[in-house]
Amino acid sequence: MLGLLVVVYFGYHAVQGDRGVLALARLNREIDEAHTQLDKLKAEEESLQARVTRLSPESLDPDLLDERARTMLNRVRPDEVIIRLDGPS
């Protein structure tokens, strides 16, 4: 009888315990989610790095520079037409 209780005890903890099968499955899901988030962040970093490169003095993109300057200074040229789209309230 004692042997059966020991087997049940260890069997239960092998499945439900901190290092059991269910915990392993949960950790694998968390790892997959972290890899997905890491991939998204790496893509965002590459995009931002490309913009920084285009604004560096060695390879200056005049269109991007003009866009950033006008956005930061809140300016428009006299020949531009502004169409304002109001989003949902």
Token code pair at residue 80: 């531009």
CA distance 22 to 58: 54
Domain boundaries, the chain: 18-73
Q: What pLDDT does residue 3 have? A: 87
Q: What stretches in the chain show pLDDT beneath 50?
A: none
- pTM (2 decimals)? 0.55
